[in-house]
Chains A and B, each alone.
Chain A
Amino acid sequence: MLHIENLHVAIGDKPILSGINLDVRAGEVHAIMGPNGSGKSTLAQVLAGREGYTVTQGSVRYLDQDLLALEPEQRARAGVFLAFQYPLEIPGVANVQLLRTALNSARLAHGEAELDAMDFLDSVKSKLALLGMDESFLYRAVNEGFSGGEKKRNEILQMAVLEPRLAILDETDSGLDIDALKIVAHGVNALKHPDRAVILVTHYQRLLNYIVPDHVHVLAGGRIVRSGDASLALELEDKGYGWLTPETQAEARP
């Protein structure tokens, strides 16, 4: 589904990612872990099409398309979804307005009819229930005055409504208490499907207790320095990241 080859990304002159290789197949859950500043969030943003990053080398194929050639909205309509680490507040725009405009943008792009307000409301109600959200959330301005946990749940609500093929969750677990974490994990697990893939970007192993990954990758210094199965995350929980960072490795070499 997603094939990243030798991806190099810089902000201005500063290289952030230095040769990422990653294959994600339909049905898989990948966790990308790493210390602060390792480039995890950059990878997530680049996949979603955020401006300000320069791809200096490499390629990203997604469902047989050149992902990097697509505008952010085209990527979204093709099924790529990024749950933001810091969801934005948009005063004056109701949640329901964002959700319906987004869903109908995708439907139009796929040659489907737009949903009217009533049909949309019916379809969104089950998703609200999935995330334990009250209907009143729909009529509040997007993320405005939301608590940290509410913002993250709102991201997962958007994901549940848009039903992406590839969901990228950027530190969705950060700032969540254990109850909120369980709700978010439940929302993500409910979306799991043989046709879909999930990339979890996270600093901590905690979320992986609830969403069990098929593959775990450790990003450090802009590279994937170790890949493994779910047990790698547990090992990181024990030992920290120090033993895997490039400097430590360089010192360890004879």
Chain B
Amino acid sequence: MNAATTTRYLHALAHTGGSPELLPARRMALARFLAHGLPTTREEDWKYTSLDYPERAEWHTPKGAVAAPAGEVRAENYPGITLHLNNGRFAAPHAHSLAAHADSPLAARYLGQLARSASLAQINSALWQDGLWLHVPAGQRTLPLFVIHNTSETDAMLHLRHLLILEANAEAVLIEHYRSLPDIPYWNNLVTEIVLGAGARLTHIVLTEESATATHTGQTVVQQARDSRYHAVSVNLGGRLLRHDTWINLNEAGAECQLDGLFIADARRHIDQHLHVEHAAPHTASRQTWRGIAAGRGRGIFDSRVVVQAGALKADAQQSSRNLLLSPHAEIDVKPQLEIYADDVKCSHGATVGQLDEAEIFYLRSRGINAATARALLLRGFADEALGLLKNTGLADWLEPHITAALPQQSEHAT
């Protein structure tokens, strides 16, 4: 990391603000980050994704909150609470602001304890300004939270920090929509830490629909206690470069997670998804259904590692990753990995990269449907396979136009 870059981050820390209590931890995180720098393609985990651009770019901490933009996209009549974070900040002090709770004993207990020591998490720990705080006490159920993250500041770097704590048998639904002004460059680097107590249930839906020049890096770390359930759907439709790592720790018996997702990498988008599930206890279950579409000069990476530790008897792990290449210049790399150190487990994975099936297209055409519509129908059906979790959430209709707009147009004579 060169001197100019180092100075930039030191300067950023000086302008980050926040609770003085956290300053020593922030300084330590920054020192760790500066010692390692951003990940490079020499690291196995990063070999497909270069952070050269965010390394070189002259980012600054956002200048402050702005008013919510007009014309919000949200679910009609969705029975929840809508929150806005603009350029990483709430417009006014808010009950769900992490900054407002950072000094509380509960937050202090978990903040920074879950995210891995990766340098992206370190820089976030050093520079985060705000993010979502969600604490659901034992046995309670909150109204769904619909959080719109909007970015409108060119060359800003946003280190959003979310902390979600669901105590025993608590239930919550969180929907996050990352969006921005079109065509502005910025860097979103977020960390989400989630703690699920025994029997807690969280449904977490993330739609990423950012500017065509945005860089988005992030990681989500989930700790799951006995019989807890984490259901997540990631829909990645935008941005220039997106890299997200999800770490799930199924720490106690009966914990279950479902990690589904869809990405559409068209134009020159680069979307890199890493999933890691640790089955650390017996009778734990994980499910993954991912669908990827690459068109134009788009690039998609799906890297998923499931580890069944010794002693995680009767673990059940199922992975499905199907991917479509719609142009000769598009590329998708799929890397499913199962590491099993226990006996008596049920594990399977399937990964494919292919094209739309000509036989299926003919089948639809033989029913009077023209070729372009047939292709669009198949693409849509392909995408929908990853969205099964949305069926009973009332969100499918909300998501519909976003996906329709993102799917590559099918011409009558495309081959």
Contacts and interface: CB of A to CB of B under 8 A. Distances in A.
Contacts of A102: 364, 367-369
Interface in A3-62: 48-51
Contact of A84 (B363, B365, B369, B384): B363
A123 B368 CA distance: 18
Contacts of A93: 377-378, 380-381, 384
Nearest to A87: B363
B382 A91 contact: yes
Given A72-B362, A84-B363, A92 B384 contact: yes
Contacts of A82: 366
Nearest to A71: B365
B400 interface: no
A162 interface: yes
Contact of B367 (A91, A109, A141, A162): A162
Given A88-B359, A92-B385, A76 B366 contact: yes
Contacts of B85: none
B381 A101 contact: no
Interface string A72-103: 11011100011010011011110001100111
B373 A72 contact: no
A101 B385 contact: no
Interface in A104-118: 105-106, 109
A172 interface: no
Contacts of B357: 88
Nearest to A141: B381
A48 B358 CA distance: 15
Contacts of A72: 362, 365-366
Given A90-B381, A92-B380, A98 B364 contact: yes
Interface size bracket, B side: 20 to 34
A92 B365 contact: no
Contact of A77 (B362, B368, B371): B368
A162 B385 contact: no
B367 to A, nearest CB: 4
B411 interface: no
Given A88-B360, A90-B360, A101-B377, A73 B382 contact: no
Interface string B367-391: 1111101100110111111000000
Contacts of B364: 90, 98, 102
A98 B380 contact: no
A202 interface: no
Contacts of A84: 363, 366
Contact of A109 (B359, B368, B371): B368
Contacts of B359: 88
A78 to B, nearest CB: 9
B366 A48 contact: yes
B371 to A, nearest CB: 7
Nearest to B381: A92
Contacts of B371: 71, 73
Counting chain A CB atoms within 10 Å of each CB, which of B357, B364, B368, B373 scores highest? Answer: B368
Nearest to A109: B368
Contacts of A88: 357, 359-360, 363
Contacts of B374: 73
B95 to A, nearest CB: 40
B344 to A, nearest CB: 28
Interface string A150-165: 0000000010001000
A230 to B, nearest CB: 29
A109 B369 CA distance: 10
Contacts of A141: 381
Given A90-B381, A93-B380, A97-B377, A105 B360 contact: no
A71 B369 CA distance: 11
Contacts of A91: 381-382, 385
A83 to B, nearest CB: 10
A90 B362 contact: no
Contacts of B380: 92-93
Nearest to B388: A92
A92 B382 contact: yes
A90 B379 CA distance: 11
Nearest to B364: A98
Contacts of B368: 73, 76-77, 102-103, 105-106, 109, 162
B363 A90 contact: yes
B264 to A, nearest CB: 15
A93 B383 CA distance: 10
Contacts of A98: 364, 367, 369, 377
B172 to A, nearest CB: 29
Interface string B322-336: 000000000000000
In the A-B complex, the 7 residue pairs with the smallest Cβ-Cβ separation, listed nearest first, are A92-B381, A76-B368, A93-B381, A102-B367, A72-B365, A92-B384, A105-B368
Interface of A: 48-51, 71-73, 75-77, 81-82, 84, 87-88, 90-93, 97-98, 101-103, 105-106, 109, 141, 158, 162
28 contacts: A49-B362, A49-B365, A49-B366, A51-B362, A71-B370, A71-B371, A72-B366, A73-B367, A73-B369, A75-B366, A76-B366, A76-B368, A76-B369, A84-B363, A84-B366, A90-B360, A92-B381, A93-B381, A97-B377, A98-B364, A98-B369, A101-B377, A102-B368, A105-B367, A105-B370, A109-B368, A158-B367, A162-B368
Given A72-B362, A88-B363, 9 more contacts: A49-B362, A73-B366, A84-B363, A92-B385, A93-B381, A101-B367, A102-B364, A105-B370, A162-B368
